[in-house]
Structure 1
Amino acid sequence: MLKILIIVTNINSYTSGKETGLWLSELTHLYHAAKEKGYDITTSSPNGGNIPIDPESLKPLTLDKISKSYWSDTSFLELLKYSKSLFEVSNEAFDLVYLAGGHGTMYDFPNDKTMQTIIRNQYENGKMVAAICHGVSGLLNVKLSNGEFLMKDKKLTGFSWFEESLARRKKEVPFNLEAGLKERGADYKKAFIPMTSKVVVDGNLITGQNPFSSKQTAKRVMKELERQTQNKY
């Protein structure tokens, strides 16, 4: 049975006090795809405990069918209250480490040393690392054993600065994610049309651009996991 680690944010507000958190679909689609395969799923966060949900991700226009079904599932909602801390899972081995998004991640993902160690070890062991939307901020400061940023010269994507403008969050966010990725040497890619699906694969690194990439990111991750498993045997 393949083991999946999903990492989510503990942050429930911007510095302004406006509510944020996890963008629900960026968890549910990957969770659902892994659950259908019978994979062993661990949900973790920097501090452990409760996972706040961005209320914007629960609005009728953004709450897709899969996310809606999980939002009405009491056992799933209980799961969100009791995530494991990154420290608790830091010595476990996983076939996939997946960073779910939501603006909250911009505050507790980039400088988390435990997260950086987990991602570096995962990547250098040739195992899959995936991230979506603002969850990509968890890759920003990850350095490999040679001292270089993991993302240097890697093709990847993440929420664009123009999309922050469309989401009316430019004045709320603590930094420009797109600029940060480029500054660290990433070969940043984005969809031709903002707020549409975009998934980028570079070896064992998979990234999705925005919430609209949730379904496609989950499908691509599952496909790559199956391919790696077949190659192993």
Structure 2
Amino acid sequence: MTKRVLHVVSNVANYADQAEPTGLWLSELTHAWHVFAEKGYDQHLVSPKGGVSLLEPRSLKWPMADASVKAWLTDRNRQALLATTARPDQIDPADFDAIYFTGGHAVMWDFPDNIGLQQITRDIYERGGVVSSVCHGYCGLLNTTLSDGKRLVAQRRVTGYSWVEEVLAGVAKKVPYNAEQEMKQRGAFYEKALLPFVSKVVTDGRLVTGQNPQSARATAERVAALL
């Protein structure tokens, strides 16, 4: 049977300073989408509120805007997908074999405390599915608990955008919290590459996490291997 993957994207369009835009880091979606499309998987988008997911402007500039990004920007059908994402209450977790949390700083605001996304994640995982994230997408795993009350990430190996990368990207003073530290405080065994902005993927059972935008394709390949 055809595997089905649910991509999670943000609805947030600005940092706390409304004059500073953020949003979905597009390549983190497009790279994974391409990998899954090659496998023939059925793919869908969900966001915390449903509807439009706006794009992080920096993700649309060279060198981040590669061929896969440009293809999305010029494809009306794919742009429509980002304008009409589903709400969590419109999703039946039983329909999906994997969930993949995309990133961009926007997700730091609307992923962690969304109960609907937490329920979907828990249900997919406990049915034997794969839970995955890339870059800031791991913020969507911070507060997800399993049916036994334990945190999904507790005592699990994970990675995600590091604090060093936040500093080097010049946004450390703009983000609402230190995601790396928050993950550690929840009992996760956080790992990162020796060098910043280098691809790194960590697999712990059916939990797959990628560190940064450069890790999106490799993360999706690891998810596909598990599926």
Q: Which TM-score applies when normalising by structure 2? A: 0.96
Partner in structure 2 of residue 229 of structure 1: none
The answer as to 2:151 corresponding to 1:175 is no
CA distance in 1, matches of 2:32, 2:115: 24
> CA-atom RMSD, angstroms?
1.1
Tell me the equivalent position of 1:162.
164
The one-letter code sitting in structure 1 at the alignment partner of 2:141 is L
Native 8 Å contact 1:142 1:149 kept in 2: yes
Partner of 2:6: 5
Residue 117 (str. 1) matches residue 119 (str. 2): yes
Aligned pairs for 1:133-148 within 5 A: 133-148=135-150
Deviation at 1:93, TM superposition (A): 2.5
1:92 Cα deviation after fit: 4.1
Which amino acid counterpart does residue 8 of structure 1 have in structure 2?
V
Alignment gaps of 5+ in structure 1: 226-233
User: What is the TM-score with the length of structure 1 in the denominator?
Assistant: 0.94
1:172-214 Cα distance to aligned partner (Å, 9 max, x none): 1111000000000001010000110000000000000000111
How far apart in 2 are the matches of 1:137 and 1:6? 14
Residue 34 of structure 1: SS of its match in structure 2?
A: helix
Q: In 2, distance between residues paired with 1:67 and 1:207? A: 21
1:98 and 2:70 are equivalent in the alignment: no
Structure 2 residues not aligned, in runs of 5+: none
Cα deviation, residue 96, structure 1: 0.6
User: Aligned pair 1:73/2:68, yes or no?
Assistant: no
Q: Report the Cα offset of residue 65 of structure 1.
A: 2.1
Indicate the residue corresponding to 2:212 in structure 1: 210
Residue 37 of structure 1 deviates from its aligned partner by 1.9
Q: Distance in 1 between matches of 2:160 and 2:145?
A: 18
CA contact (8 A) 1:159 1:210 kept: yes
Q: Which amino acid aligns with 2:224?
A: M
SS in 2 for 1:213: helix
Is the contact made by 1:134 and 1:159 (CA closer than 8 Å) also made in structure 2? yes
CA contact (8 A) 1:90 1:114 kept: no
Q: Deviations over 1:121-146 (max 9, x none)?
A: 11122210010111100000011122
Preserved CA contact (<8 Å) 1:161 1:178: yes
The structure 2 residue matched to 1:190, chosen from 189, 192, 214, is: 192
Deviations 1:45-98 (A, max 9, x none): 011111100000001121122222222222111111111111100454210111
Letter in 1 for 2:22: T
Report the alpha carbon displacement of residue 36 of structure 1 after superposing the two structures with TM. Answer: 1.9
The percent of aligned pairs where both chains have the same amino acid is 44
CA contact (8 A) 1:191 1:198 kept: yes
Q: Helix, strand or coil: the match of 1:114?
A: helix
SS in 2 for 1:218: helix
In 2, distance between residues paired with 1:92 and 1:104? Answer: 27
Preserved contact between residue 93 and residue 124 of structure 2 (Cα < 8 Å) = no
Comparing 61-70 and 40-49, the one that deviates more: 61-70
